[in-house]
Amino acid sequence: MNILYGFYKADGGTIRIDGTERRITSTQDAIDAGIGMVHQHFMLVEPFTVLENILLGAEGGFLLTRGTERARRELLELEQAYALEVDIDAVVADLPVGIQQRVEILKALFRGARILILDEPTGVLTPQEADHLFRILDNLRRQGRTVILITHKLREIMAATDRVSVMRRGAMVAHRTTAETSTEELAELMVGRKVLLRIDKRPAEPGEPVLEVEHLDVVDEQGVRRVKDVGLTVRAGEIVGIAGVAGNGQSQLLDALCGIRHPARGTIRLRGQPIHDPAQARASRLGHVPEDRLRMGLVRGFTAYENAILGYQLVPDYSAGGFLARRHIRDLCRRWMNDYDVRPADPMLEATSFSGGNQQKLVVAREMEHEPDLLIVGQPTRGVDIGAIEFIHRQLVAMRDRGKAILLVSVELDEIRALSDRIVVMFDGTVTGELDGEDADERQIGLLMAGVRDKAA
């Protein structure tokens, strides 16, 4: 898709649009050909308003006034035509990710896109936002636009597409009409073997408490209380899942548990010792797979092997006398990359050279391979293919069976239900309920996620 959008130049082959061969050597060529792309990580200037972002690169002349007036009129028409309601004067940094994605779609449509490419569009969306996105895409399709949807989520493929093509290791291996295929067939085509779409695990055998949280309050930078009187315990040998619609305090809770954000009130103890800062948390054998791998999990300009020890660089095996044992680290990184199927398995490549899914696998490998007593995992399989999801899930269960404590946060309700021995549900910064993982049903969790505590309701 990056070739089709002009980011990379093809080494061979042809591209035809409406039957005419097109030579695409730049993004401007792609835009001129009617192609628009919404990237997995949005290409927006956060301090700019929605209107400024949409005008950027399409200002319509040296004087902005005429272009701005025209843009306002056209954007209002596009919003009404495609149900893409956005406040065009809002600052992008203040908008939730679901609305930012609408801005990206509007930006493409404003530039005349007839072919719209979306890369993992639901990776950062709540289920409600994802449903609204698919209504928008259906509207685009009915009005004659072509939509190319890149996703590893089989349920979305079955629900939202007319045809599906499967890529594996850089080659197209199958083309199917969606109505004539199944999730099982697609999973096998994607991975090249039979894939278990469920997780086989034996009942947990919880041991001593590893993480204990009592009366925790967390206040954000704007002074808003985001976590309110939260208490929870995670024991050795169990997976505790935190369910909730994104934006209900889970991210702030994870930051506080890892020592990144100081709580306004309450206590956090790891094996009986209070957690004060990230370095002390690391020293207490806490591992952390952050929700946002690019902002908190990796340094983009570092190589894969440098990222593989990020946060662990002072471990004696990796450094001596202030110098890194680079050959040893590279060999270790190469082994992890092979074990976790990070492609390409080249420790010398910079983090930016890997796809989002392979970046995620690198972060997961780093944190799991250091065998923490407590692993805190935020969105472990975001943007990861079905085969890697199966592998990561097996690794998490294996860690649990080795007596490790795991706290899991995921917006994927299926993932929470499949992996968790206990499920803690959050709404508006509070714990609305705790359920046994075996017995929890989707409707019950959904009610608690909406703040409804009373079963009768």
pLDDT of residue 457 exceeding 60, the answer is no
Q: By C-alpha distance, which of 209, 202, 203, 268 is closest to 236?
A: 209
- 317 & 429 share domain: no
Instruction: For 173-226, write each residue's pLDDT tens digit.
Output: 999 999 999 988 998 898 787 766 678 889 999 999 999 999 999 998 888 899
State the pLDDT confidence band at 58, using cuts at 50, 70 and 90. Answer: confident
For residue 161 the two structure tokens come to: 């597409």
The H or E element that residue 217 is part of is strand 209-219
75-130 residue pLDDT tens: 988 888 887 889 999 999 888 777 888 899 999 999 889 999 998 887 666 666 77
Q: Does one domain contain both 53 and 123?
A: yes
Going by the DSSP 8-state scheme, the letter that residue 388 receives in this structure is H
Q: Nearest Cα to 257, choosing from 146, 87, 377, 431? A: 377
Are residues 222 and 90 located together in one domain of the fold? no
Judgement on whether residues 420 and 449 belong to the same structural domain of the protein? yes
Question: How far, in Å, CA of 201 to CA of 26, rounded?
Answer: 49
Number of other CB atoms surrounding residue 67 within 10 Å: 15
Q: What is the CATH number of the domain that holds 449?
A: 3.40.50.300
Which residues sit opposite 149 in a β-bridge? Answer: 118
**pLDDT tens digit string along 237-270?**
999 999 987 778 998 999 999 999 999 999 999 9
Number of domains in the chain: 3
Helix, strand, coil percent values for the chain (each to nearest 5)? 35, 25, 40
Same domain, 317 and 404: no
**261-313 pLDDT, tens per residue?**
999 999 999 999 999 888 889 889 999 999 888 888 999 999 999 999 999 99
This prediction has a pTM of 0.72
Residues 38 and 92 in one domain: yes
Are 412 and 273 in the same domain? yes
Residues 133 and 55 in one domain: yes
Nearest of 84, 96, 180 to residue 138 by alpha carbon: 84
Length of the chain (residues)? 457
Containing structural domain, residue 69: 15-150
Q: Are residues 348 and 400 in the same domain?
A: no
The pLDDT of residue 443 is 80
Distance of CA 434 to the CA centre of its chain: 25
Q: Do both 244 and 383 map to the same domain?
A: yes
